[in-house]
């Protein structure tokens, strides 16, 4: 029997609320830069009958499922197979230069977590793939079996914030010399042995950080995000809004930096008035990062780590 992935959109009511002022009662264009199974997009299309959706995803399987789910919205839906830093090219291909709203729901999708053979989940044995687009690129097994101990240490430290990165990397290199890594269960077994017992008792599952680091490396997620957020901000018209949901601190730092930098005045210190050409380009719509409440976390465990930030363009770039 084929597994049917579950999908419960995180902070859906809040996202609908944040976008309502720019989407309600008028023709508008929304880019869902991380379409996934289309839960957020489906709700927004239903709420706004004149909304046109541009949905991006690197995962062909996600696009196929979303195309079926969103078919009832007819020609208001345009889906594009691309990584989200391909947003400018996707818009150009549709003859669009400016949009009213952009949504990012970052990290691994429900479908990728729930389908065993994708290799994202450490709770069950599966091939060490972790590619969001299984048609291209290196797998997690390739990383484990070919990277030097130094490069593995860097990946685990920088992308997983793993305290025991060097110890794990050395153990991986020693173990792969005996037999290359192919499945997640063998890696999880190694991690249980490499992470000290005291840390295992208090620091959560010993595989969590390593699996996060491998996924980010395989999909170049942070490099893509550093390009994608500025591209999305540039595509917004004056009055347009961006909403970003992050699920780990590395993503959230990038998003925070991009939004706050453009929401600051650049008027030189000491001047009594703000110079028009130095006014901010954006205003923040959230005070810091918003989180899910206890009710939503109880209903949807994946909401537990979400951090939501939003901003509105208030003037054009010069």
Q: Give me 204's structure tokens.
A: 């959560």
39 in a known ligand binding site: yes
Coil, strand or helix at 104: strand
> 311 near 278, Cβ under 8 Å?
no
Residue 107 among known ligand-binding residues:
no
Query: Nearest-CA neighbor of 144 among 164, 119, 169, 162?
Result: 169
DSSP 8-state class, residue 281: S
CA distances from 148 to 29, 79, 284 (A): 46, 39, 42
Question: What single string gives the DSSP state of each residue in 145-172?
Answer: HHS-HHHHHHHHHHHH--TTHHHHHHHH
The response to whether 248 counts as a known ligand-binding position is no
Tell me: is residue 105 an annotated ligand-binding position.
yes
Quick count: other Cβ atoms within 10 Å of Cβ 54? 24
Alpha-carbon distance of 253 to 191, in angstroms, equals 27
138 appears as a binding residue in the annotation:
no
> What burial letters (b/e) apply to 147-171, b meaning 16+ CB within 10 Å?
beeeebbbbbbebbebebbbebbeb
Which residue from 61, 197, 187, 194 is spatially nearest to 123, judged by alpha carbons?
187
Distance CA 242, CA 103 (A): 6
The reply, when asked if residue 281 is annotated as ligand binding, is no
Euclidean distance between the first and the last CA atom of the chain, given in angstroms as a whole number: 56
Does 40 show up as a binding residue in the annotation?
Answer: yes
Residues tagged in the binding site annotation for S-adenosyl-L-methionine: 38-40, 57, 84, 105, 112
Residues tagged in the binding site annotation: 38-40, 57, 84, 105, 112
């Amino acid at each position: 029997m084929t597994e049917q992935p579950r999908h419960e959109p995180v902070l859906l009511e809040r996202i609908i609320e944040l976008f309502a002022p720019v989407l309600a009662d008028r023709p508008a264009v929304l880019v869902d830069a991380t379409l996934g199974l289309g839960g957020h997009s489906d709700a927004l299309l239903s709420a706004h009958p004149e909304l046109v959706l541009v949905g991006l995803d690197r995962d062909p399987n996600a696009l196929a499922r979303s195309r079926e789910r969103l078919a009832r919205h007819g020609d208001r839906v345009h889906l594009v197979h691309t990584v989200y830093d391909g947003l400018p090219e996707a818009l150009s291909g549709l003859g669009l230069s400016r949009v009213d709203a952009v949504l990012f729901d970052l990290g691994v999708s429900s479908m990728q977590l729930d389908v065993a053979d994708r290799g994202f989940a450490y709770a069950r044995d599966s091939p060490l793939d972790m590619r969001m687009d299984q048609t291209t690129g290196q797998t997690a097994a390739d990383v484990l079996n070919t990277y030097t101990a130094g490069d593995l240490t860097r990946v685990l430290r920088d992308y997983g914030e793993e305290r025991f990165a060097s110890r794990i990397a050395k153990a991986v290199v020693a173990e792969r010399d005996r037999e290359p890594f192919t499945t997640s269960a063998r890696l999880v077994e190694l991690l249980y042995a490499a992470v000290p017992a005291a840390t295992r008792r208090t620091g959560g599952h010993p595989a969590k950080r390593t699996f996060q680091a491998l996924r980010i490396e395989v999909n170049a997620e942070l490099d893509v995000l550093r390009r994608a957020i500025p591209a999305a901000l540039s595509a917004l018209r004056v009055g347009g809004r961006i909403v970003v949901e992050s699920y780990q601190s590395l993503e959230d730092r990038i998003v925070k930096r991009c939004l706050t930098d453009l929401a600051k005045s650049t008027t030189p210190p000491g001047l009594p008035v703000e110079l028009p050409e130095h006014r901010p380009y954006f205003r923040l719509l959230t005070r810091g990062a918003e989180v899910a409440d206890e009710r939503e976390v109880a209903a949807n465990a994946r909401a537990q780590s979400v951090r939501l930030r939003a901003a509105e363009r208030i003037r054009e770039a010069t």
